[in-house]
Amino acid sequence: MSLIKQLWLAIIFIIILAGGGIFVLSTLAAKNNLETQLQMKNIDNATSLALSMSQMQKDPVTMDLLLSAQFDSGHYKYIGLYDPEDKVISEKINANSQTKAPSWFVKLIPIDVHAGVAAIQDGWLQYGSLKLESDSNFAYDKLWEETLLIALWSLLIGLISCYVGGKILKSILNPLQSVVDQANAISEHRFITIDAPKTYEFKSLVNAMNSLSNNIKKNVSEESARLNELLVQTNFDLITGLKNYAFFESKVDASISHEEFAQGVLITSRLSNLAAIDKNLGHEKTDLFLKNIGEILKAECDHSTTLLAGRLNGADFAVFSNQQVDCYTIGSQIQNLLSKSLVNALPDSHFITTTIIVRKTDTAKKLFTLVNQVLSEINAGDKNILHVIDQSDVDNRQDKNEAEWEQQLISALQGKRIKLGQFPVSGKEGQLIHYESPVRLQLIPDGNWLPAGEFISWAYKFNLINWLDQLVLEKALELLAAGAEPIGLNVSGSAICNEEFVKATVDLIKQHSAVAHRLYLEVPEKDAFNHFAEFRSFCNQLKPYNCKIGIEHIGTRISELGKLHDVGLDYLKVDVSVIKGIDSNEANKTLLRGLGMIAHSIGTLIIAEGVQTEGESETLIQLGIDGMTGPGVKLATP
């Protein structure tokens, strides 16, 4: 039973006890009072009647008349005249009197009054004695009325007390709700802090929980800052702050290998005569200039989440887009940005830019080699040059298919020709955590099932992505309800920012709340941190239904992991760029160890993405990873 209920019961009990006690006591007091008064009246009336009778003539008629006069003019139950031998001479009895009080009341609270007795003298002789009893029915009436009145007042005061007590109780217990909420949040690994209430006991409790939350937050923030430093040192160019060659390569590879990837563009720009610039400007100024270029490219990448930028070597800068964009447009966009930086600082220098389409089958290393060859072949002379490799091929492909794509996508969505892929995420002992389930579409009925990469960018383009997401969610919940193994779905940044989608998602999950705990939803790192407020609200809305929420592709924004301490996530998936070759990369081992510590201190699982080799998976287990996914992952066969 809740504390509030118990306190309520206690208050009601006390009020009833106090009210009832006062009621009984006051009734008894009133009864005693009435008894005393009646007794005195009996005695006094008997005495005064006896006194007057003593002075009268003692003939029976006079005596009887006197008795009648007294009896009829007053409230008496009985008046009797006795001779000295205690024999009745004359008596009057009132048999008609009745009380308004119910008989049970009369029985329960009897008014016990004795008759008043007085002696009557006849000269020196005793004439007799007088017994007189007042009519107690009037007393009962009065007592009954008073009892009713007291009961009414007790009830009224009781109700008022209940009301006031309730108000007081509410104000006392008001802080309790927030304390309970905080405790629940902490048990869900959301380490939130709240304002300390004024009540002393609550205050120390809240202070304790706040300091726990703050400690976790501090630890996580410190650790992620430390890791970020490590990440920057090992993966980023120190002058420009751009990704270094190795890291850029692994990021591009990771991007290509990603399920949703279909085609991208690699833009590479080479600054001519860097050596000469260095000589002319001096080392410091050159560094400043390079830093400026780095900032321009970083700003561009922050602007668009589909872009990656890196510094391949001294004079080569690269930008990678994981979307099917027009080679020429994006190439000239980057070219313009870069050449603008030159105009004032170095009018004699130029950028030679190439763009090349990146296909699913390409690898970063192969592309870089190819681009390098092309760049060395181009003789720039003295102007900025943009060279598009295989541009015509791209144009044809895009224009021809656009209308057809849209029509086929819509028909596939309408026909619900949707299927979910199945890639296991296994735990340390090879047990299943969930199946990563990227969507597959059948554009033509009975045709091939296309992987997400082939159509997802089109779906974005035609604004069909929310529809698709919703169908995928419906499908997943349907499968779960039918008893499928846990399913993991990707949720895009645009989805969590779309209130309608979030609402529809919540409604759908509410309908299937029985299987919601087997649904895993993951948001890419970039989207989660770029739209952090929306992400937090998304989590808060879905948490009550017990579905699992995680972040995928973690590896770039490690410094921001500290923000997650009060979100209540269930798992973090570390990007393949960190995992790849982990068995031989000491820096990434340290990074992953730290990530594991952060994840575990905020109560989430940590899962490695894109595990390919046995060596990798063994190292990962040693590093304390909770689960892994990728081509090299096999489930333990029972």
Partner 1 sequence: METIGRQAGDCEDFSIAKYIFLKVLNIPDEKLRLTYVRANMAAYGVNAIRAHMVLSYYPTPQSEPLILDSLTPEILPASQRKDLTPIFTFNSNGLWLGNSTNPKASSTSHLSKWRDVLVRIKADGIEY
| Identity of the residue, 136 or 339, whose beta carbon is nearer to partner 1 in the bound complex | 136
| Identity of the residue, 119 or 281, whose beta carbon is nearer to partner 1 in the bound complex | 119
Cα separation of 317 and 293, whole Å?
Answer: 9
Span from 115-123, 310-318, 458-466, 546-554 in contact with partner 1 (CB under 8 A)? 115-123
- Binding of partner 1 by 123 (CB under 8 A): yes
Shortest spacing between CB 119 and partner 1, in angstroms: 6
| Identity of the residue, 87 or 303, whose beta carbon is nearer to partner 1 in the bound complex | 87
| Identity of the residue, 118 or 591, whose beta carbon is nearer to partner 1 in the bound complex | 118
- Binding of partner 1 by 126 (CB under 8 A): yes
The two tokens of residue 68 are: 């009648």
Shortest spacing between CB 98 and partner 1, in angstroms: 26
- Binding of partner 1 by 25 (CB under 8 A): no
- Binding of partner 1 by 117 (CB under 8 A): yes
Instruction: Give me the residues paired with residue 129 across strands.
Output: 82, 119
- Describe the crossing of helices 245-257 and 200-235 by its angle, rounded to 10 degrees: 110
| Identity of the residue, 87 or 107, whose beta carbon is nearer to partner 1 in the bound complex | 87
Report residue 352: phi and psi, to 5°.
-105, 120
Residues in contact with partner 1, counted by CB under 8 A, come to a total of 25
Shortest spacing between CB 45 and partner 1, in angstroms: 12
- Binding of partner 1 by 638 (CB under 8 A): no
| Identity of the residue, 132 or 309, whose beta carbon is nearer to partner 1 in the bound complex | 132
Q: Residue 377: CB partners within 8 Å, gap ≥ 6?
A: none
The sign of the torsion formed by the CA atoms of 73, 79, 82, 87 equals positive
| Identity of the residue, 85 or 382, whose beta carbon is nearer to partner 1 in the bound complex | 85
Could you say which residues in the range 35-54 bind partner 1, by CB under 8 A?
A: 36, 39-40, 43, 46-47, 50-51, 54
- Using CA atoms, how far residue 353 sits from 337, 372, 392, in Å, is 12, 11, 17
Nearest to 12 by CA among 151, 162, 164: 162
Shortest spacing between CB 67 and partner 1, in angstroms: 17
CB–CB of 38/113 below 8 Å?
yes
Shortest spacing between CB 54 and partner 1, in angstroms: 6
Specify the DSSP element, H or E, that contains 535.
helix 532-542
Could you say which residues in the range 65-104 bind partner 1, by CB under 8 A?
A: 83-85
CB–CB of 406/462 below 8 Å?
yes
| Identity of the residue, 55 or 103, whose beta carbon is nearer to partner 1 in the bound complex | 55
The two tokens of residue 259 are: 């399920």
- Using CA atoms, how far residue 169 sits from 3, 96, 164, 407, 483, in Å, is 11, 55, 8, 64, 47
- Binding of partner 1 by 466 (CB under 8 A): no
Interface residue with partner 1 among 1, 125, 482, 533 (CB under 8 A) is 125
| Identity of the residue, 33 or 234, whose beta carbon is nearer to partner 1 in the bound complex | 33
Cα separation of 283 and 239, whole Å?
Answer: 11
- Binding of partner 1 by 413 (CB under 8 A): no
| Identity of the residue, 39 or 470, whose beta carbon is nearer to partner 1 in the bound complex | 39
Burial of 79 (0-12, 13-18, 19+ CB in 10 A): buried
Shortest spacing between CB 199 and partner 1, in angstroms: 49
Q: What is the DSSP letter of 114?
A: P
In which region does residue 522 sit, left (phi positive, over 0), alpha (psi from -120 to 50) or beta (all else)?
A: beta
Span from 114-122, 167-175, 347-355, 479-487 in contact with partner 1 (CB under 8 A)? 114-122
Interface residue with partner 1 among 5, 124, 284, 533 (CB under 8 A) is 124
The two tokens of residue 310 are: 């890196």
- Residues near partner 1 (CB under 8 A): 32, 36, 39-40, 43, 46-47, 50-51, 54-55, 83-85, 114, 116-119, 121, 123-126, 129
